[in-house]
Amino acid sequence: MDCKYFGECGACRLYESGYEGQLNEKVALNKERFAPFFQGEIAVFKSPDAHYRSRSEFKIWHEGDALFYAMNHREHKGVVLIEACPQVNEYIAALMPKLLAAVKKADIGFKLFGADFLSSSSGEIVVSLLYHRKIDAEWEEKAKIIAEDLGIYIIGRARKQKVVIGQDYITESLNIQNTMYRFDYIENSFTQPNPRVNEQMISWAMDAFGKRDGDLLELYCGAGNFTIPFASLFAKVLATEISKSSIHAAKRNMALNNVENIEFVRMSVEEFVQALDGQRVFKRMSHIDMKQYNLEAIFVDPPRSGMDEYSCKFAARYETIVYISCNPETLYRDLETLLETHEIVSMALFDQFPYTHHVEMGVKLCKKSL
């Protein structure tokens, strides 16, 4: 990736040996980290080496009447003023200078402090403009003109305000094992930032399960990123998530893909275990007959904090566990518990965040033979 801000901008870490060098460093680090648990080959899934991010956030910096994009400086508390970013996809990259010029021309840059971009792989874009002032009717009229001229959607955000010009989501298409899946990504909600690596990650997880006769339980399902492709492998899928907005998005995405064999339930892991074991009755599960499920596999994709010991002990009930982790450190901790009952069959590393120390890891575990 060719970037003149390398070494200054805090968004990336400088690797003198380029993309392959940074990837080799990550692979070596995680092979060593997980060597006590797994001595086999870790499958490695690469990212494009530039224009790989479909969402990104920038500060807006004011110098007199001029406006600039800015990122935190790597070495000190200041910022780096930037004109372009080779991380973002080609559509965001092309839009960035045009948007800033349009904001300046329309005179809606007053107290603007941030711009967040969300793009599909086909170029549908939502831009959120963040303000330290109230958004008024004049702003809305000017933003409508900019949105029409640039062919984008705009959201104005200020304290207790969200003003939507057009719509607040884009529709992404992912090619998973030669099948196209469509997902509505809603502004300000979590989405995987690297669509090409996301496709590889979902595909690897599907291969890890293979076609099954039984049913799947998924914890931390989010908006259905994995759940919906998994539905093609299992008779039924039961998926839980604690976020109400994520559950709404998941149901919306299920309908978008004409999938009918998933039940999404808004529950924490602890609540679900209590319901499953008959300790508590939840109205949210009153329509679900657990006797109709043959749950023999479980999928987990927890937040950076990982699973807790309670959740690990619960997951250990199932014959097959597939675990996607965005934090190798908490994955290591959780494996110490899971390996009391299971053994690792395969591992994978997904370079979701090039030029940073972050990676996503995948692990398939099966119950130990007695």
Q: Which residues are catalytic?
A: 326, 360
DSSP H or E stretch at residue 345: strand 342-350
Torsion 248-119-207-46 (CA) sign: negative
Q: What is the token pair recorded at 191?
A: 């989405």
Q: Evaluate whether 130 touches 116 at the Cβ level (below 8 Å).
A: yes
Residues forming a β-bridge with 4: none
Burial of 314 (0-12, 13-18, 19+ CB in 10 A): buried
- For 212, the token pair is 């099954």
Cα–Cα separations (whole angstroms), residue 183 to 57, 174, 226, 244, 250: 21, 8, 11, 17, 9
| Cβ proximity of 126 and 153 under 8 Å | yes
